[in-house]
Amino acid sequence: MRPLRSITLKICSVLVFIVMSAMIKATAQHVPAGQAVFFRSFFAIPVIVAWLALRGELALGFRTANPLGHVWRGFAGTIAMGLGFAGLAYLPLPEVTAIGYAAPLLTVVFAAMFLNEEVRAFRISCVILGLTGVLVVLSPRLTVLRDGMGQTEALGAMLVLGGAVFAALAQVFVRKLVATERTATVVFWFSATASALSLVTLPFGWVMPDMTELALLVGCGILGGIGQILLTSSYREADASLVAPFDYASMIFSIAIGYFIFAEVPTTPTVAGAALVVTAGILIILRERKLGKDRAAQRKALTP
């Protein structure tokens, strides 16, 4: 257990993923989302393969006992990425980040539906609180849609929310996979399947990026691989309940990058809604941590 190292790795991974999203956003007006998904996934593979080789886990990374499970996870994850990347063309970066916070909340719901996980009243209340926060973020976009104005922003909001739904489904598939698969295997095969699945969008208008766009697209793939390694490594160093709350540092980074790079100022509904979602997420994490400690204490008491 090295909590300080774990937290540092987690914050670094969050920053890397936000920078990656900013690079995607910089190309989103010209480069189709499916093409961006391909670059994000394909150019992450060399980074991940090098990491596995350094750890001596290269053979383990390729070996899988559940190939169909990786296909389903890749399908859901690829759609989630594609929708999220498409939404970046229409919405400010902080708003995309805030709406994306719906994913872990929806994971709780889907885990109860598809994995038969027990969800008590406290977690249900937190999910409702968090989803209320998401609705607060979405409310200005839904209002302008009703009034017949700002339809592109409303479309962007729906795309990002759809991405959060599929991201939550992807997490459900991951929970099934980790019962039989190593982390290295899950990481590698997601990049491989997402690269292949994104090619389905090739007939729908891929473009020839200019040199700047090409550099940004390749860079986002490399950063995606680095971010995945940092994220995986952070959870090796400490309990998930300690590390997970630092996901929400992404709002700070997205506000800073959005302001200085894209001249985006977060709106009051974005900040207020994000605060509700962050509060709900942290309450769930703290509750799970307490329950984990209680279960450990009960097991210890029952041990002869």
What pLDDT, on the 0 to 100 scale, is given for residue 200?
95
Structure tokens given for 101: 């916070």
pLDDT tens digits, 102-140: 998 898 888 888 888 877 888 889 899 999 999 999 888
pLDDT tens digits, 263-299: 999 999 999 999 999 999 888 888 777 766 555 554 4
DSSP string, the chain: --HHHHHHHHHHHHHHHHHHHHHHHHHTTTS-HHHHHHHHHHTTHHHHHHHHHHHT-HHHHH--S-HHHHHHHHHHHHHHHHHHHHHTTTS-HHHHHHHHTHHHHHHHHHHHHHS-----HHHHHHHHHHHHHHHHHHHHHHHHHHTT--HHHHHHHHHHHHHHHHHHHHHHHHHHHTTTS-HHHHHHHHHHHHHHHHGGGGGGT-----HHHHHHHHHHHHHHHHHHHHHHHHHHHS-HHHHGGGGGHHHHHHHHHHHHHH-----HHHHHHHHHHHHHHHHHHHHHHHHHHHHHHHHHHH--
Domain count for the chain: 1
Q: Average model confidence (pLDDT) for the chain?
A: 88
Residue 142 — pLDDT band, cuts 50, 70, 90?
Answer: confident
> With 90 as the cut, is the pLDDT of residue 74 above it?
yes
Regarding pTM above 0.95, the answer is: no
What pLDDT, on the 0 to 100 scale, is given for residue 300?
45
Residue 221 CA: distances (Å) to CA of 16, 158, 190, 247, 258: 11, 25, 13, 20, 20
Residue 144 — pLDDT band, cuts 50, 70, 90?
Answer: low
Burial of 74 (0-12, 13-18, 19+ CB in 10 A): buried
> With 60 as the cut, is the pLDDT of residue 148 above it?
no
Q: Domain range spanning residue 21?
A: 3-302
> Which is more confident, 198 or 238?
198
